[in-house]
Structure 1
Amino acid sequence: MTAITLLYIVFGAILLLYTVQESGAIRAIKRGFSDISPDRRIQAIIIAWLFGSLIEGASGFGTPAAVAAPLLVAIGFPAMAAVMVALIIQSTPVSFGAVGTPMLVGIGTGLSGDAVTGAGVASVAEYVPVVAGTVSIIHALIGILIPLIMVGMLTRFFGASRSFAEGFRVWKFALFAGLAFTVPYVAVAHLLGPEFPSLLGGLIGLLIVVPSARAGLFLPQDRFDFPPRAQWGSDWQGTVEPDTAEAEIAPHGQPARREISLLTAWMPYVIVAVLLVLTRTVQPLKAWLTGPDTTLALRDIFGSGINASAQFLYSPGTVMILASLISVVLFRMRGRDYGRAFAISARTMSAAAPALLLAVPMVQVFINSGGNGLASMPITLAQGMSAAAGEAWPFFAPLVGALGAFIAGSNTVSNMMFALFQFSTAQGIGLELAGITVVVALQAVGGAAGNMICVHNVVAASATVGLTDKEGDLIRKTLIPMAYYVVQAGLIGMAFIHGGLWWLAAVIWAAAVIATMARSRARLAAQPAE
């Protein structure tokens, strides 16, 4: 059931992409980004970091990668590059994705019990916003460098010179975009609570960064583009191809496809964002979409006592399919063009089905492995780590969160599994409530970082661009920013609790990561392209 719901989202994302492509609207979007900047680094920051964060705040559960990766492919990114940058941003905004679900449901459900209220917490409902405030600060301190690391990864693995330094040349713009998102993100978390930091942070960031980019503010003097398509490696490309054809010519010499304005071309994605916000924030509508009348429920399957359910009307897949249907009217599409988009989308989704249908049960076996007096495998691993770490546990707490997200494919599930464990472990090493709050926040931050490498997200995002059997390569690449994120979170957590030299250690770690990447330029420049 879980795999089918993920495939449904994949289908919706691909259908929306091909609707935009087959209508000819993609050409207007390409021109729009060329008007802002033809630089692929700038395009990645705007689409993946800012637009992706907005979509994460509205929907979550891997949707940003499913939306951003096809859009990047459509404007000329290699499929592998598009998925990689879309996965890297599945970090800072994730803790407040889906209108705060990882905090409200993940932490809220995970911390239910007498053990929490007996430790000085008045109520879990009042405690979650406190944790959320700490989460936002830790994320902001780490996430401000994510756009810079992302473009460094882009140029290192997909540039002609294979150099991190080529991406770092946009450091001013990257840091500007990082601040444009993280500052309102923290403010919203403290003022409005955990529902809207990512959503409003992404929206405000777009409103600041796009006009600034049009004005040339903080843009580099050089321009980065990918090598000619003929030089792309076979592993760079998926089965989804960008629309490279010029306007078709009708028999009487008139264009077969009318010119579409930039605003109209972007409307499908605006519609997606608006519908996601409405379905997640308008409570009567949300209640109906998630209620018993609109929920597909299977009870006591095969007499096993197991129940399963799916809320397809509430799914982001439905939102994207609905936006696609509206776009048919909006773009005045011909029936055969939309039929072609539908057929290609179905074939692409089918290619992703075997991996998802096998990966999801593997995850469920891992999560549900406890019983008969034995703890589950994730809990056993976490207990072993805490016993070995002792008072240094806050440094390792984000790793447990990342492990949970990697296994379960969800920051929300990771928080549900490990929030109480983190709370109890922090109590066990003698921390006061303020220190315990930091440890629980580190769980949420680590769980967000784990989304960069979780199998569900990698497979689903790859499927939207027709990239199959490359999941291992993508995980090896995204392990680099994930490692930076988890280690930096641990250092900042230790600094919050113990202060002193731990703040210096956090600064040194961030500087060392950037310096190590930048130094690769001279060595790599002397080597031929791989």
Structure 2
Amino acid sequence: MYQQIFDPVLGQLGLSALVAAIPLLVLFVLLGVFRWKAQWAGLSALAVAALIAVAVYGMPIVQTLSAGGYGAASSFLTVIWILVNALWIFKLTESTGHFGVLRRSFAGVSDDQRIQVIIIAFAFGALLEALAGAGTPVAISAVMLIALGLPPFRAAVASLVANTAPVAFGALSVPITTLSKVTGLDFEALGAIAGRQTSVVATIVPLVLVFLVDGRRGVRAVWPAAVVAGLAFGAGQFIFSNYISVELADIGAALSCAIFLVAFLRVWRPREPLTVAAVPVVAGGSGTGSVEEEAALLERAGQDSRKNVILAYLPYAVVGLPRQ
């Protein structure tokens, strides 16, 4: 059985780490400098990684190919599959007009796009991370932000940044569980330490999100709400991971953030809300079918019924259900 050697380059761990990082460097250079398409840059980096595994680390060719195939299958069955279905849900709810219902629902909490980003990408995204993980919060949050009028690239970046604090306790703390099994260290102790670190990071994430959406002007305008959201999330994550349950750290943090932020917005509002035009509903077909008619009706509706609100949130609730 193949046993990995951690310092194959002249017996130096640092030099070996630099060689092991070459595939990542190749990926970044091809994507960022030469502007290659993602699939070709990824395949090129994979080829370099396989070459280094065989030539430097002495990994058998059959095992190298098997590991590459396993990684490709794992990424497709988790992250890529989630992204495909997230886009499908986006198109479905866009065609039926229920994204308009979502927009009005979030506007009921705040019509300010900067605060909506905190609610969706940070609080709601953390809840999705806690229940599902595996790319779900980024994929779902991004398409919801796009529906609220955020440019696609900015929506993706905001969703990724928002997931920095919750990801350590993703999918009911699977990363902590895995770390405990690999290292043999106590699960509760690892979770408590992680909670003390990520809770500090969480306090500034909402401010970063606001800056991404509206720059310094946005930070000056809504920093009180961002600070409340960050402190509430960080406190929830710290308390749950250290004193209640490591597995429930993100759930407690997300709920704490949402509750305190909504309560704060009842007594404080930004002086100049940042609002954008609603994303128009583009339905397929001839325009005479029942789906198109329902979409147009929902878009014109002044007040949404409870049924329509439930139907608008239902696809995301289903995606966010915990998996075994």
Give the TM-score normalised by the residue count of structure 1.
0.42
1:192 aligned to 2:244? yes
1:269 aligned to 2:319? no
Moved over 6 A (4+): none
Distance 2:249 2:148 in 1: 28
Cα distance change on mapping 1:32 and 1:109 into 2, 3 Å:
same
1:184-333 to 2 correspondence within 5 Å?
A: 184-213=236-265, 215=266, 217-225=267-275, 242-244=279-281, 255-257=293-295, 259=298, 261-273=308-320, 275-276=321-322, 279=323, 286=324
Cα distance change on mapping 1:70 and 1:267 into 2, 3 Å:
same
1:20 aligned to 2:93? yes
74-83 or 254-263, which deviates more: 254-263
Distance 2:91 2:102 in 1: 13
Distance 1:62 1:255 in 2: 34
Q: Is the 8 A contact 1:154 1:167 kept in 2?
A: no
Equivalent residue letter for 1:152: F
Partner of 2:105: 32
- Within the candidate set 165, 182, 188, 1:110 is matched to 182
Distance 2:176 2:75 in 1: 24
Partner of 2:217: 165
Equivalent residue letter for 2:182: G
Gaps of 5+ in 2: 1-72, 299-303
Deviations for 1:393-415, whole angstroms, at most 9, x for unmatched residues? Answer: xxxxxxxxxxxxxxxxxxxxxxx
| 1:251 to partner: Cα distance | 9.0
Q: Is the 8 A contact 1:26 1:243 kept in 2?
A: no
Cα distance change on mapping 1:110 and 1:168 into 2, 3 Å:
farther
Q: Higher relative contact order by CA 8 Å / sep ≥ 6: 1 or 2?
A: 1
Partner of 1:58: 131
Partner of 2:210: 151
Distance 1:139 1:251 in 2: 50
Distance 1:34 1:10 in 2: 26
Distance 2:289 2:146 in 1: 31
Equivalent residue letter for 2:107: S
Distance 1:17 1:256 in 2: 16
Identity %: 23
Gaps of 5+ in 1: 113-123, 157-163, 230-241, 280-285, 287-530
Distance 1:88 1:9 in 2: 19
| 1:255 to partner: Cα distance | 4.2
Distance 2:217 2:289 in 1: 51
Partner of 1:89: 162
Q: Is the 8 A contact 2:97 2:294 kept in 1?
A: no
Q: Is the 8 A contact 2:114 2:218 kept in 1?
A: no
Distance 2:81 2:197 in 1: 34
| 1:250 to partner: Cα distance | 5.2
Deviations for 1:219-278, whole angstroms, at most 9, x for unmatched residues? Answer: 32112246x89xxxxxxxxxxxx44459x98599x94445463233222222333x22xx
Matched residue count: 240
Equivalent residue letter for 1:149: V
Cα distance change on mapping 1:148 and 1:25 into 2, 3 Å:
same
RMSD: 2.7
Cα distance change on mapping 1:137 and 1:3 into 2, 3 Å:
closer
